[in-house]
Copies of this chain bind each other. A is one copy, B any other.
Amino acid sequence: MKVPEEVISALREEDDFLIASHIHPEADALGSQIALASALEAMGKSTALYNRDGVPELYGFLPGGEKVLTSIPQDTSGLTLILLDCNTPERAALEGHQFKRSVVIDHHETESYFGDVRWIVPSSAATGLLVFELLKEMGATITPAMAINLYTAIAVDTGAFRYMNTTPEVLRAAADLAEAGATPGAIAEDLYESWSSPRFKLLCMTLGTLEIYDRTAIVAITEEMFKKTGTSAADTEEFSNFPRMIKDIAVAVFMRELPEGGWKVSLRSKGEHNVARVAMRFEGGGHKNAAGCTVQGDLPTAKRKLTEAIREIL
């Protein structure tokens, strides 16, 4: 991958950076931020790290995570913004701030034209992969802490090397980062084997509600189940992926009862089945293989509405 010369020169020329990433961050946002900041600091630059929502507990193991702040320096006009894993100030909760210069590094498809320097590669599996290429190109020494951050970034965005975006390049970067001090087994344990007992109990209960209609799998969580296990909506992250394990399932539906009534619905699909079309029927939205919406009614009614809408895309 060729790193644009203007990205490198912008980072070389400037000295004071604010490195930001999108709200509700996952490891690709955070790991990229932390690793890039470490490299710039090692070059004698000054960096501040900003994420409106901070580091979620799940990613507490990322070394250097404590440098990610949830507040923005008062005067940003002398700072160069580096926006990672997103490409508009709004996605990073940075609206209205002025910067000396701005650099965008991202792998999301985009229609925005924000940024003095833009490096957006939708074909790249992770922003962490772009940051890794950039650091190599700039001759930065990859420390073990940086390697852990970048390895985790790439692992999370490729489903730990299980998604279709797992290219030879992804695996080679992972190998290089493991060589530089990332610990694949320990990182996987932190990511996938560190569930709280209540969260795991909630998963067990949720999977117990599985119903299969034709090629659609549905699971549902009620408010009652949250109460019983002492969990909350935040604990349901990843739940919608489990029914994908079933071979002949085309669409997986995850429903969560809302305190105000109705159901928050996550839709996941395999292959060509476009669940964004289902979500739009209920004024929701999303992508072809991952979308969401809210559906009203009691559980049987909401399920019926959903399965009817899903039937049309199967």
List A residues at the B interface (Cβ < 8 Å). 159-172, 174-176, 178-179, 184-186, 188-189, 192-197, 200-201, 203-205, 207-208, 210, 212, 243-249, 270
Contacts and interface: CB of A to CB of B under 8 A. Distances in A.
A162 B189 CA distance: 8
B161 A184 contact: yes
Number of copies: 2
B210 A185 contact: no
Q: Quick one: which of A159, A197, A201, A248 has the most chain B CB within 10 A?
A: A197
Contact of A167 (B178, B194, B205, B210): B178
Contacts of A212: 197, 201
Contact of A247 (B169, B179, B196): B196
Contact of A193 (B165, B171, B189, B247): B247
B195 A166 contact: no
Contacts of A160: 160-162
Given A162-B188, A172-B175, 18 more contacts: A160-B162, A161-B184, A163-B185, A168-B175, A168-B179, A171-B175, A194-B247, A195-B246, A195-B247, A197-B247, A200-B210, A200-B243, A200-B245, A204-B208, A204-B210, A205-B208, A207-B207, A207-B208
A161 B193 CA distance: 14
Contact of A203 (B185, B193, B194, B207): B207
Nearest to A215: B197
Contacts of A163: 185, 188
A193 B248 contact: no
Nearest to A185: B164
Contact of A171 (B171, B196, B201, B204): B171
A256 to B, nearest CB: 17
Given A192-B245, A208-B207, A210-B204, A168 B178 contact: yes
A283 to B, nearest CB: 30
A189 B194 CA distance: 24
A231 to B, nearest CB: 13
A189 B241 CA distance: 13
A178 B169 CA distance: 9
